[in-house]
């Protein structure tokens, strides 16, 4: 039985969302804020040796009827239930899943339950680090686990890819820079709406990249942290496609603007299709693990 992950700023927001990729987008955003892109083809493992390792790890094909959660860290351990290895790789290398290339099909289809425990010494050292540095060290632990148990070898490459550029629309942004002492109401997250508090553009870009199935790059020039809310048709996703719903689900409201219209009218931002060089992770080798 997996324990419930501990509450934190990102986790608290994530649990309010209705889609696992939304949750992962926020988790990756937290990591990406402190990481800079690396260009050129080079061995990722060569950047640092040796990597720190978990004290013990258990990896099994998922056979659980319980809802998936994670992947994520708790103090002293990493856990994920019913997870694809593609998501774990993305977390380990601080990239969006869209930036992983060369993966065999099973990396995106087969699901695993993973539990990994750090030594008491490592856990204590991580607790003393600033959050960004602790996340960096936790990423290295995951890289080590993937190398040891999946034989993972990857490299960085730069690819010219179709992207959406997020830019400021005519008239300028329609939201304000966050005030450090402001504590606004907890507005709902869900179909057709979300709110960000005291967040940089990187968080918005992370959410949009995962929902729109294409990289979104920030070309707004906005460098601060902001409070913003956007609402659009609840029966459509960001791409304007109908939202999936079960046979017993209540119909969603079909009124309101499309996401692109809401983005411009409510936030003063817009998306432009273009191409840009993107730092990607290429899987050079990976194999299925032996279970334990």
pLDDT of residue 33: 42
Question: What is the arithmetic mean of pLDDT over 266-282?
Answer: 94
Q: How far is C-alpha 6 from the chain's CA centre? A: 18
pLDDT at 279 over 50: yes
Q: For 17-63, write each residue's pLDDT tens digit.
A: 334 444 444 454 444 443 444 443 344 444 455 778 899 999 999 98
Closest CA to 17 of 188, 149, 152: 188
Q: For 104-142, write each residue's pLDDT tens digit.
A: 999 999 999 999 999 898 888 888 888 878 888 889 999
Q: For 194-237, write each residue's pLDDT tens digit.
A: 888 888 999 899 888 877 878 899 999 999 999 899 998 887 77
CB 97 within 8 A of CB 59: no
Q: What is the pTM of this model?
A: 0.68
pLDDT of residue 189: 65
CB 95 within 8 A of CB 139: no
pLDDT of residue 36: 40
- What's the CA gap between 87 and 207, in Å, rounded? 15
- What's the CA gap between 185 and 195, in Å, rounded? 10
When pLDDT is cut at 50, 70 and 90, the band that residue 252 belongs to is low
pLDDT of residue 186: 53
- 102 Cβ partners below 8 Å, 6+ apart? 282, 283, 284
- 116 Cβ partners below 8 Å, 6+ apart? 54, 56, 57, 58, 77, 78, 79, 141, 145
Return the higher-pLDDT residue of 12 and 184: 184
SS3 letters across the chain: CCCCCCCCHHHHHHCCCCCHHHHHHHHHHHHHCCCCCCCCCEECHHHCCCCCCCCEEEEEECCCCCCCEEEEEECCEEEEEEEEHHHHHHHHCCCCHHHEECCCCHHHHCEEEEEEECCHHHHHHHHCCCHHHHHHHHHHHHHHHHHHHHCCEEEEEEEEEEEEEEEECCCCCCCEECCCCCCCCCCCCECCEEEEEEECHHHHHHHHHHHHCCEEEECCCCCCCEEEEEECCCCECCCCCECCCCCCCCCCCCCCCCHHHHHHHHHCEEEEEEEEEEEEEEEEECCCCCCC
CB 272 within 8 A of CB 164: yes
pLDDT at 176 over 80: yes
When pLDDT is cut at 50, 70 and 90, the band that residue 183 belongs to is low
pLDDT at 161 over 80: yes
Q: What are phi and psi of 187, to 5 degrees?
A: -80, 150
Q: For 260-269, write each residue's pLDDT tens digit.
A: 999 999 999 9
pLDDT of residue 185: 53
């Amino acid at each position: 039985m997996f324990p419930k992950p501990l509450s934190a700023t990102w986790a608290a927001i994530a649990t309010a969302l209705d889609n696992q990729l939304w949750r992962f987008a926020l988790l990756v955003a937290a990591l990406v804020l402190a990481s800079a892109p690396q260009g050129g083809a080079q061995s990722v493992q060569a950047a640092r040796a040796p990597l720190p390792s978990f004290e013990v790890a258990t990896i099994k094909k998922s056979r659980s009827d319980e809802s998936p959660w994670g992947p994520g860290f708790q103090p002293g351990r990493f856990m994920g239930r019913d997870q694809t290895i593609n998501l774990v790789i993305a977390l380990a290398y601080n990239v969006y899943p869209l930036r992983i290339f060369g993966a065999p099909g099973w990396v995106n289809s087969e699901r695993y339950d993973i539990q990994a425990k750090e030594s008491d010494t490592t856990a204590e050292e991580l607790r003393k680090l600033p959050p960004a540095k602790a996340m960096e060290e936790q990423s290295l632990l995951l890289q080590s686990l993937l190398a040891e148990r999946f034989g993972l070898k990857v490299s960085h490459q730069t690819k010219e890819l179709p992207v959406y550029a997020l830019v400021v629309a005519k008239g300028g942004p329609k939201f304000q820079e966050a005030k450090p002492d402001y504590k606004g109401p907890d507005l709902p997250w869900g179909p057709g709406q979300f709110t960000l508090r005291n967040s940089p553009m990187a968080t918005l870009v992370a959410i949009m990249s995962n929902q729109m199935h294409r990289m979104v790059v920030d070309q707004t020039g906005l460098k601060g942290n902001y409070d913003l809310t956007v609402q659009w048709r609840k029966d459509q996703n960001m791409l304007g496609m109908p939202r999936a719903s079960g046979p017993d689900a209540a119909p969603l409201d079909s009124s309101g603007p499309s996401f692109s219209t809401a983005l411009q009218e409510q936030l003063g931002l817009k998306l432009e299709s273009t191409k840009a060089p993107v730092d990607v992770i290429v899987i050079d080798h990976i194999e299925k693990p032996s279970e334990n």
